Structure 1
Amino acid sequence: MDDARFVFNLGLEQRSFWRREKHDRGSHPEHGSLDAVRITKATQMRELTRLRVELPWLRAGSSSVQQAALRDLDQAFANFYAGRARYPVFKRRDDRVGGFVVRDFAVRRLNRRWGTVTVPKVGRVRFRLSRSWAEITQGTSARITLRHGRWHVALTTPPAAKVLSGSESTAGIDRGVRNTLATSDGRMFQAPALTAVERARLLLLERRLTRQTKHVLRRKNGGSRRRQATLDQMAVLRRRLANRRTDWIEQTTTRLASGYALIAVEDLRVRNMVRRPATKPDPDQPGAFLPNGSRAKSGLNRSILASLWGRFQTRLEDKMGSARVVRVNPTNTSRTCAACGHCAPGNRESQAVFECEACGHLAHADTNAAVVILNRALSSLPAAGHAVSGRRSPAPAGSANQPAA
């Protein structure tokens, strides 16, 4: 993994020249041309071949793994220019999260629970089977990653079939911080978190980490080794939390996809919602800044990220398809009455209680917002007559067929 990190960082350094006269580097020795040659994945692949001849320690590593690092770098820049990700950053040596790609994919089954995958320059490595063997044999490549002190292997397989629904009912889903998911038929889902004992343990380890030596060369009293041990203990808790959240996301999205024919969600821009607040310069004191609520905003950002809003929507659309998941405008969904359509800040008395000022409709605030989301989705569809979670959707305000609150 060290050689893959070296190749990735070296390729990133080449591509980081922003001026054209630096980005284009004269004639290429293989072509003998005086025309400028632009840095691309292909040119870096050729340079990697020559570099492996000059550096024996790099030649000792797998060429396919190193080439995959350049492919990852090229994809990272493609995501950046498309607006899907930030500018690529260098990979640190002490980074506890990393990985590489195995293109020459070969697996072998040992028994019902274990199999092996061939890793270049390493040999056969055993892994635990979490999928059926038929799915594993369809893999074309594998990405081996290190997350929270444990190695994982992810196989590239054909896309899974969509989850079919055995019901014709529809539902709206409101995403929140206190209640992670609330459906229009009154169901509530809560994302898992660390227990009170685990949170106290993690806080203790974080405080211990701040007092321990960071640099590897400073070995007095075993500081660096103790820091490594603390990081390993923190990784156990974080891995436990990550596994809980992944399991919850998969089970919840599968349950919803199989239970509803259509689901409406808010079209939230989660990345924009968790941005840091802009600084406020003090006009009276140059160089000073006014309070901007960054501490409160950071707490809200942590709660939003812990609620897994983005991962939930991504996995739900993967399993249901974009045609069965309708995104609606999220403006004022928590302030609009699902019965009469009246929108006012005073409708929501508290985080959980919604009482319409116009018609007196009383409901749980999250459930009311989910019904509003569903109504907006149904009104945007060309066909009418969809059921709202087993009952007729509320008619627009002023309609003669509007049900009583």
Structure 2
Amino acid sequence: MSIRQRLYPESGQVAGLVEHCHHARFVFNIGLEQRSMWRRDKHLRGPLSVPRVNAASQMRELAQLRAGTDWLRAGSSSVQQAALRDLDRAFMNFFAGRAKYPRFKRRSDREGSFVVRDLSVRRLNRKWGEVAVPKIGRVRFRISREWAQITCASSARVTHKNGRWHVAFTIPAPARFEPGTGPAVGIDRGVANTLALSDGHMLQAPSLTKFEQARFLRLQQRLARQQKDSQRRGKTLEALVVLRGRLENRRADWVEQTTTALACTHSVVAVEDLRIRNMVRRPKPKPAPGNPGVFLPNGARAKAGLNRAILASVWGRFLIRLEHKMPEGTLLRVDPRNTSLTCAVCGHCAHGNRESQAVFQCQSCEYTAHADTNAALVILDRALNTTTAAGHAVPGRARPVTAGNANQLAA
């Protein structure tokens, strides 16, 4: 696990930090290109004609490259070697199926990072500390965590994003929270209401204010008219970075506070086992029959708006942090099929049950409730009335909730 602290470099140290980011990005990209060329051409030259490219061979070649390149030699070898380790870890995650194929890092991304392996920290006072960065010296950072957590860190990563510098200390994973004593709760994740709890509470992820949204739109329109690499374009990008950073901080704070409150309050939390990556895929093109090269409308624009709303709701980050904090076996994932169409009282499932986005009225028993609250009750019922294994609810036919115990589940 990592804990992030805000870094406050002096004016003379910023150039050195930026140069470290450039070195790490360059070494990562050239190492990625070397591995891609080896994989791409090995069927032509034979797998045994050229030694396999791996982290060890690239470390040796990096030393030769530094000897012949003044720009790289002026930087830190530990920072550049750490970039190759990041590349090797990215390929390991790719082959294990945990991530996509590594991509090149662009300078135009206006963000970067590098690793500090030989970590040395020093405390100045109650609020400020210093971390030693190779070739730069000690850089001040703001202390917002317990100092004992920082001193037990094994390494750190310096990041530059949204115009701010941070240092993330790698620490051992903390212990999970103690099981809550409150009732079990079901959570329905949505777009209109980010989180709908089975007890009737609605939680909404924060966003930019109306004034900030209008300013963001104006800045984007201005950016589209400006020339690349111009000074005015750079100022517009800096203004956009401020708004993006503000939004990122609000969402991160909301996720942490919400997941902590749920983990400390409820003994069991049930959520839908959603495949978010599949939900935000773009729709497939619809070729016009008998007319090659012509495509029919496929709702791509409306789907793009829905995808943005799903990503803005931070469903994935919320579930990851909740899983980190909940004790083992208390976070249950259930089959999400037809949870919004099933009645929480009689179990009747039909498309006509949901009259609108917010209104649910069962056609069989005439039970009426908020649609999201009803879905959260169905999710909770599926979790409590199916056998569980390793924190996952096995999909199955859940016992219908009776009119007598519907209120008990909501409580």
TM-score (norm 2): 0.88
2:302 aligns to what SS in structure 1? Answer: helix
CA contact (8 A) 1:165 1:258 kept: yes
Which shows bigger deviation, 68-77 or 193-202? 68-77
- Per-residue deviation at 1:53? 1.2
Q: Which secondary structure does the structure 2 equivalent of 1:380 belong to?
A: coil
More deviation, 157-166/297-306: 157-166
CA shift digits 1:310-357 (9 cap, x unpaired) = 000000000114411111000000000111111011111111111111
Indicate yes or no: 2:375 matched with 1:369: yes
What's the counterpart of residue 97 of structure 2?
Answer: 83
Shift of 1:16: 1.2
2:300 paired with 1:300? no
SS at match of 1:159: coil
Counterparts of 1:308 and 1:403 in 2: how far apart (Å)? 29
Aligned match of 1:11: 31
Structure 2 residue 351 is the aligned partner of structure 1 residue 341:
no
- What is residue 13 of structure 2 aligned with on the other side? none
Aligned to 1:59: 73
Maintained 8 Å contact 2:344/2:401: no
Distance, in Å, in 2 between the alignment partners of 1:260 and 1:88 is: 39
SS in 2 for 1:126: strand
| C-alpha displacement of 1:402 | 6.7
**In the alignment, which residue of structure 2 is the partner of 1:172?**
186
Q: Distance in 1 between matches of 2:191 and 2:82?
A: 39
Which residue type is aligned with residue 27 of structure 2? Answer: V
Identify if the C-alpha distance between structure 1 residues 45 and 86 changes in structure 2 by more than 3 Å, giving closer, same or farther: same
Alignment partner of 1:116 is 2:130? yes
What displacement does 1:68 show?
1.0
Answering whether residue 332 of structure 2 is matched by residue 326 of structure 1, we say yes
| Inter-partner Cα distance in structure 1 for 2:190 and 2:98 | 24
**Paired position in structure 1 for 2:151:** 137
Q: Over aligned residue pairs, what C-alpha RMSD do you find? A: 2.2
- Please say if residues 200 and 373 of structure 2, whose CA atoms lie closer than 8 Å, have aligned partners that are also in contact: yes
Q: Which amino acid aligns with 2:286?
A: K
Q: State the alpha-carbon separation in 2 of the partners of residues 283 and 80 from structure 1.
A: 38
Distance 1:401 1:251, change over 3 A: closer
Equivalent of 2:366 in 349, 354, 360: 360
2:113 to 95, 99, 110: 99
Counterpart check, 1:249 vs 2:255? yes
- Contiguous gaps of at least 5 residues in structure 2: 1-20, 390-397
Distance 1:109 1:364, change over 3 A: same
Q: For residues 212 and 400 of structure 1, what CA distance do their matches in structure 2 show?
A: 62
Pairwise CA distance, 1:35: 6.1
Equivalence for 1:31: none
Q: Which runs of 5+ in 1 are unaligned?
A: 27-33, 217-223, 384-394
Change (3 A) 1:130 1:145: same
Match of 1:396 among 381, 394, 399: 399
| Superposition deviation, residue 381 in structure 1 | 3.4
8 Å CA contact retained: 1:333, 1:372: yes
**CA separation of 1:156/1:25 partners in 2, compared to 1, >3 Å: closer, same or farther?**
farther
- Secondary structure of 1:89 counterpart: coil
Q: Partner of 1:258: helix, strand, or coil?
A: helix
| Matched residues, number | 379
Q: CA deviation at 1:301?
A: 0.2
Give the CA deviation at 1:19. Answer: 3.4
Q: Quick check: 1:127 aligned with 2:141?
A: yes
Deviation for aligned residue 1:80: 2.3
Alignment of 1:269 with 2:275, yes or no, is yes
Structure 1 residue identity aligned to 2:375: A
State the shift of 1:166 in Å: 3.7
- Does structure 2 conserve the Cα–Cα contact (< 8 Å) formed by 1:23 and 1:39? no
> What's the offset of the Cα at 1:232?
0.5
* Change in CA separation of 1:146 and 1:25 when aligned onto 2, cut-off 3 Å: farther
**Counterpart in 2 of 1:186?**
200
Q: What SS does the aligned partner of 1:311 have? A: helix
What secondary structure is seen at the aligned counterpart in 2 of 1:160? coil
Q: Secondary structure of the residue that 1:186 maps to in structure 2?
A: coil
* Distance in 2, Cα, partners of 1:297 & 1:41: 41
Structure 1 distance, partners of 2:65, 2:406, is: 75
Instruction: Tell me the TM-score normalized by structure 1.
Output: 0.89
Cα–Cα, structure 1 residues 397 and 174, in superposed 2: closer, same or farther, change >3 Å?
A: closer
**Which SS does the other structure have where 1:172 is aligned?**
strand
Superposition deviation, residue 36 in structure 1: 3.8
* Secondary structure of the structure 1 residue equivalent to 2:57: helix
Is 2:295 the counterpart of 1:289?
yes
What is the aligned partner in structure 2 of residue 2 from structure 1?
Answer: 22
- Separation in 1 of the partners of 2:255 and 2:171? 20
1:171·1:183 contact (CA, 8 Å) conserved in 2? yes
- Structure 1 residues 207, 363: CA separation in 2 closer, same or farther (over 3 Å shift)? same
2:174 aligned to which of 160, 163, 172: 160
Measured after TM superposition, the shift of residue 187 of structure 1 is 1.2
C-alpha change, 1:3 and 1:402, in structure 2 (3 Å) is closer
Identity %, equivalent residues: 63
- The code of the aligned residue for 2:399 comes to P
